[in-house]
Amino acid sequence: MLETLNALESEGLQALEALSASEELPVWYRGYLGRKGRLTDVLRGLGALSAEERPGAGRRANEVKEALETAFHSRQDHIREAELQASIAGGAVDVTLPGRPVAPGHLHLSTRTLRRVREIFAEMGFQVYDSPEVETDEYNFELLNIPAYHPARDMWDTFWINDKVVLRTHTSPGQIRCMRENHPHPIRVILPGKCYRYEQITPRSEHQFYQVEGLAVGHRIRLTDLIGTMQEFASKMYGAGRRMRIRGSYFPFTEPSVEVDMDCILCSGKGCRVCKHTGWLEVAGAGMVHPVVLRNGGYDPEVWSGFAFGMGVERPAMLMHGIDDIRLFYGNDLRFLHQF
Ligand code: PHE
Domain locations in the chain as residue ranges: 2-89, 109-337
Task: Kindly give the distance from the C-alpha atom of residue 324 to the centroid of ligand 1, in angstroms, as a whole number.
Answer: 24
Distance from Cα 203 to the centre of ligand 1, integer Å: 22
Listed as own residue / partner, the contacts of 59-65 with beta carbons closer than 8 Å and 24 or more positions apart are 60/2, 60/5, 61/5, 64/5, 64/8, 64/9, 64/12, 64/39, 65/33, 65/39
Q: What pTM did the predictor assign?
A: 0.71
Q: 280: which strand partners?
A: 263
Q: Atom 7, ligand 1: which residue's CA is nearest?
A: 310
E strands, the chain, where? 127-128, 134-136, 165-167, 187-196, 208-218, 244-249, 254-263, 280-289, 305-312
Q: Is 262 in the pocket of ligand 1 (CB under 6 A)?
A: no
Average pLDDT across the chain, whole number: 93
Q: Which of 309, 324, 314, 308 is nearest to 210 (CA)?
A: 314
User: Number of C-alpha atoms within 13 angstroms, CB side, residue 100?
Assistant: 2
Other CB atoms within 10 Å distance of the CB of residue 101: 6
Give the Å distance between the CA of 109 and the centre of ligand 1: 23
Q: Residue 333 CA to chain centroid, in angstroms?
A: 12
| SS3 call for 68 | helix
For the sheet with 208-218, list strands across it. 127-128, 187-196, 208-218, 305-312, 280-289, 254-263, 244-249
In whole angstroms, give the CA distance from residue 162 to residue 312.
27
Mutating to test ligand 1, I would choose from 206, 251, 315 the residue with most ligand atoms within 8 A of its C-beta, which is 251
pLDDT in tens, the chain (340 residues): 888 899 999 999 999 999 999 999 999 999 999 998 898 888 888 888 888 888 888 899 999 999 999 999 999 999 999 988 888 888 777 778 888 888 888 999 999 999 999 999 999 999 999 999 999 999 999 999 999 988 888 888 899 999 999 999 999 999 999 999 999 999 999 999 999 999 888 888 899 999 999 999 999 999 999 999 999 999 999 989 899 999 999 999 999 999 999 999 888 889 888 888 999 999 999 999 999 999 999 999 999 999 999 999 998 899 889 898 999 999 999 999 999 8
Class of domain 109-337: alpha beta
For residue 214, the cross-strand partners are 190, 309
Show Cβ contacts of residue 140 under 8 Å, excluding neighbours closer than 6 positions. 156, 158, 166, 168, 169, 170, 172, 173
- CA of 285, closest atom in ligand 1: 8
> For residue range 146-202, what is the model confidence (pLDDT) as tens digits?
999 888 888 888 999 999 999 999 999 999 999 999 999 999 999 999 999 998 888
Residue to substitute in 253, 288, 292, 293 for testing ligand 1 pocket (most ligand atoms within 8 angstroms of CB): 253
Question: What whole-number distance in Å separates Cα of residue 232 and Cα of residue 27?
Answer: 77
Cβ atoms of 151 and 179 within 8 Å: the answer is no
Q: Give the separation between CA 26 and CA 9, rounded to whole angstroms.
A: 17
Radius of gyration of the chain (CA): 36
Q: From CA 333, how far away is CA 311, in angstroms rounded? A: 26
Ligand 1 atom nearest to CA at 211: 4
Residues in the chain: 340
- Of the candidates 6, 7, 59, 62, the residue with the CA atom closest to the CA atom of residue 33: 62
Cα 43 from Cα 57, distance rounded (Å) = 9
- Measure 35 CA to ligand 1 centroid, in angstroms: 68
CA of 260 to the centre of ligand 1 (A): 11
5 with 53: CB under 8 angstroms? Answer: no
Q: Per-residue DSSP letters for 169-186?
A: SSSTHHHHHHHHHHTTS-
Question: Quick check: 286 and 254 in contact, CB under 8 A?
Answer: yes
